[in-house]
Amino acid sequence: MVEAPARGTVAEALETVRLTLAAAGLADARREAAELYAAVVGRAIGAAWVEGDDPLGRAASRRLEAAAARRAAGWPQAYAAQRVNFRGHWLAVDRRVLIPRPETEGLVERVLEWVRAERALGRDEPVVADVGTGSGAIAVALALEGPVPFVVASDIAHEALEVAALNAAALGARERIHIRCGPLLEPLSGERVDAVVSNPPYVATDEWERLDPAVRDYEPRLALDGGPDGLAVTRDLVGQASGALRPGGLLALEADARRAHETAAIVRATGFGRVEVGADMFGRPRYVVAYRRGDGNGG
Ligand SMILES: C[S@@+](CC[C@H](N)C(=O)[O-])C[C@H]1O[C@@H](n2cnc3c(N)ncnc32)[C@H](O)[C@@H]1O
Q: Which tens digits make up the pLDDT trace of 66-109?
A: 999 999 999 999 999 999 999 999 999 999 999 999 999 999 99
**Start and end residues for every CATH 1.10.8.10 domain found in the chain:** 8-81
Q: Which atom of ligand 1 is nearest to the CA of 101?
A: 9
Q: Which of the two residues, 107 and 1, has the higher pLDDT score?
A: 107
Superfamily of domain 102-292: Vaccinia Virus protein VP39 (3.40.50.150)
Decide: 106 in ligand 1 pocket, CB within 6 A: no
pLDDT for the residue 123: 85
So what's the pLDDT on residue 20?
97
With a cut of 80, say whether residue 154 has pLDDT above it: yes
15 Cα to the center of ligand 1, angstroms: 38
| Cα–ligand 1 centroid distance for 199 (angstroms) | 7
pLDDT band at 125 (very low <50, low <70, confident <90, very high): confident
Q: Is the confidence at residue 2, as pLDDT, over 70? A: no
**Pocket flag, ligand 1, residue 136 (CB < 6 Å):** no
Q: What is the pLDDT of residues 232-260, one digit of tens each?
A: 999 999 999 999 999 999 999 999 999 99
Question: One-letter amino acid identity for 91?
Answer: L
Q: Is 157 in the pocket of ligand 1 (CB under 6 A)?
A: yes
pLDDT score for 113: 96
Ligand 1 centroid to residue 122 C-alpha, Å: 32
Substitution candidate for ligand 1 out of 96, 133, 180 with most atoms within 8 A of CB: 133
The per-residue pLDDT for range 46-65, each reduced to its tens digit, is 888 889 889 999 999 999 99
Percent of the chain with pLDDT over 90: 86
Give the span between the Cα atoms of 69 and 24, in whole angstroms.
Answer: 9
227 pocket-lining for ligand 1 (C-beta < 6 Å): no
Structure-derived torsion over alpha carbons of residues 165, 169, 171, 174, reported in degrees to the nearest 10:
90
pLDDT in tens, 177-210: 999 999 999 999 888 999 999 999 999 999 999 9
Q: Confirm or reject CATH 1.10.8.10 for domain 8-81, answering yes or no.
A: yes
Region(s) of the chain under CATH 3.40.50.150: 102-292
Q: Is 133 in the pocket of ligand 1 (CB under 6 A)?
A: yes
Indicate which residue's Cα is closest to atom 2 of ligand 1: 223
C-beta of 187 in contact with ligand 1 (< 6 A): no
Note the pLDDT of residue 1.
Answer: 47
The CA 124 to ligand 1 mean position distance, Å, reads 28
Q: CB of 151 closer than 6 A to ligand 1? A: no
pLDDT at residue 49 in the model: 86
pLDDT at position 6: 59
Residue 60 Cα to ligand 1 middle (Å)? 32
Per-residue pLDDT at 3: 58
Give the model's pLDDT for residue 298.
53
Per-chain mean pLDDT for the chain = 94
Q: Cα(211)–Cα(203) distance, rounded to whole angstroms?
A: 9
Q: Is 163 in the pocket of ligand 1 (CB under 6 A)?
A: no
